[in-house]
Amino acid sequence: MANILVVEDEFDINRLICKNLTLTGHKCKSAYDGIEALKIINDEKPELIILDVMLPGLTGFELIEYAGNIPVIFVTARAGLEDKLKGLKLGADDYIVKPFEMQELLARVSTVLRRVKRENTVFSFDDITIDFDKRFVCRDGVEIKLTPKEYDLLETLILNRNIALTRDRLLNLVWNIDFDGDTRTVDIHIQQLRKKLGLKNRIVSLYKIGYRFEL
């Protein structure tokens, strides 16, 4: 969906971010230091940069000057408020502190992309079309009425496609409930989505884990 440059000098973390972004349909390019990243920014003009602050060669704070109007999400181990402010002042679109969960990064990537209108606002698969801007879902050209929570759940599953989401995680992401709540709520909504949109094969139940939207 988008060409994303991941600038992170920790080899394993870089690879991990790329793997997850690739799973959700993005194209990824890795850079392990500032100089390498600068070259890719100039040559390939990525649509989003995920940028570590502490980098060999050029720091993330220096590098963002060359990013122009390419959106940037800072990823750093520094949790200091000052760094956060500095990053945002320099024009970063978001800021995420290590250690983070991949779903959190994916959610932010999607938010940023949608804000700068680089992400398709209309998403289609099989016989289903979803307009994220209008919160409109149709199947075979016929509008399907979804409750707000059903819609939120569908959107979350699509944004994290090919990645398993636990019931707790879904409760947190969709219902904003941050405790081991009644996970039956999740199950009931999943059932509704499967029934209304015929997603029995797309939304896979994973034993002891949760659900995964496969595409």
Partner 1 sequence: MKRKFFEKTYLLTLILFLVFLNVSIVALCIFTFNSNLSATEDSCIAENYAIMQAFENDAIGLGSESGVLLQISYGDFYAEKGIYLRFEEKGQETFSSIPAGVTIPAVNTVESTKADDTYYTVITRVTKDGRYTVTYAKDISYLYSEFRGMAIAFIALSVLASLSLAILLYFILLKLYAPLSKLRAVAGNIADGDFSTRADESGGDELSVLAKDFNRMADKINMQMNELKAVATQRQRMLDDLAHEMRTPLTVIHGYAEYIAGANISREEQIDASGSIMQEAMRLKSISEILLDDAFIREGKISFERIDTGELLNGVAKRYTVQLKDKNIEIYVSPDAGGAVSGDKILLELLLSNLTDNAIKACKNGGTVELGALYEDGVSIIYVRDNGIGMTDEELKHIKEPFYRADKSRSRRNGGTGLGLSLCETIAKAHGTELSFSSKKGEGTIAYVRLGKSYKTITN
Site residues (vs partner 1, CB under 8 A): 9-13, 15-16, 19-20, 23, 32-33, 56, 77, 98-102, 162-165, 206, 209, 212, 214
- 151, 128 contact by CB (below 8 A): no
Q: Rounded to whole angstroms, how far apart are CA atoms 153 and 19? A: 23
Largest CA distance in the chain: 54
Using the minimum distance from each CB to partner 1, give the nearer residue, 137 or 160. Answer: 160
- 27, 2 contact by CB (below 8 A): yes
Q: How far is the CB of 10 from partner 1 (least distance, A)?
A: 5
Q: How far is the CB of 171 from partner 1 (least distance, A)?
A: 16
Using the minimum distance from each CB to partner 1, give the nearer residue, 19 or 39. Answer: 19
Q: How far is the CB of 145 from partner 1 (least distance, A)?
A: 30
- CA nearest neighbour of 14 among 28, 1, 26: 28
Q: How far is the CB of 77 from partner 1 (least distance, A)?
A: 5
Tokens of 210: 């949760």
Using the minimum distance from each CB to partner 1, give the nearer residue, 26 or 137. Answer: 26
Name the amino acid, one letter, at 27: K
Pairing state of beta strands 72-76 and 48-52? parallel
Using the minimum distance from each CB to partner 1, give the nearer residue, 85 or 209. Answer: 209
